[in-house]
A and B are shown apart, each in its own frame.
Chain A
Amino acid sequence: MIRYLRMFRAFASTEFQFEMEYRANMYLSIFEMLLVIGTSIGAVLIMFGHTTTMNGWTLPQMIVLLGVYYVIQGGVSLLFSPSFERLMEHVRVGTLDFHLLKPVNTQFLVSTRHLKVIRGADLLLGLIVVIVGLVQVGEQVGIAQALMFALSLVFGWTLVYSLLLGLVTLSFWFVRVENLLAIFWAFTEAGRFPVDVYPLWLRVSLSTVVPIGIAVTAPANVIAGRMDWVAVALLGAGTVLTVSIASALWRWGLKSYTGASA
């Protein structure tokens, strides 16, 4: 375990050094994110100029939800999606061989090898939005609630991870799956509103096919006081199940990998 943590630290620090080479790009990235988050909050404010609740969600709760949306999105683009992009390329070109030869767990390596450090800024900005929302919610957020919030956030993040792992695993059979990932990113936009506002067919697909609906709505629901320990435990159980399925799929898919020269 400690070995893996040390390895991860090495990955992170090389990627950080790489990012620091392109300072101007980094500042522009942060500027873009401020723009995106600012305009998204603007959109919510415009809508709540016409109402005080949306499907039972108040304005501060919506702000928390929006923050969670950017935390999840930032988290996934910080850690997993850069590695998975490389992974698809490795499978296509055949260079995954080099990863397989290394004396570490391959799933760990292909999930965490590359980071986009700058996306950590998105995650932080998302957290700031969450905090701003929390202050507006006003009621005291107890330790239990904070714990539930953190837990469901981790579960949601892991759910999205397993979906992504499952999608890139498909590249062993179909080779080109970037399009599937593109659809995934298109669907994530739906996470900016609570999943319960959507019509049934979309709600079902957002919670099961693309778990972004759950990943974003569950933590925000904790703050809104609509999730108890039982619900969090169920979410946890579901997450463990999903990760196991994705991991099994990955191992199965790996068997179909034929290497560079084959």
Chain B
Amino acid sequence: MALDVQFKTGLLWQDTQHKEWIKLLDKLKGAKKKKQDHQLFASTISFLVMYANHHIGIENEYMKRYEYPERNFHMEEHRLFILRLKDFREKYRNFSDEATLKIIESMTEWVYSHILENDQKLGEFIIKKEQPHRLAVK
């Protein structure tokens, strides 16, 4: 996925965490092609759970603190993400081809619908709040 340029807001913590998402997705796709994706199943699930907890937690904290105008919408998307992850874990307790396909599909969808859209807006908003002159010189 050649998202390197597009998804960078310049907000280091957010970019770093998004990069990890993309990296894992690429790795998983590569492994799937070689039919080695079963090795990655457990660690991918742990990553997603961690991400839900951690990354989403940080974004929510910023939105609350800086009173982000679109926070209701954005936090609702986060809530649905967590809910979908929970359903997924109940349905697919163990590795299967279908499970990996489903993860790849959902993770890719999340990149386009959330990371490249709402998260970019949020990132720019945070920079504007914290470092108002930085966007101008970007």
Whether A and B are associated in the same complex: the answer reads no
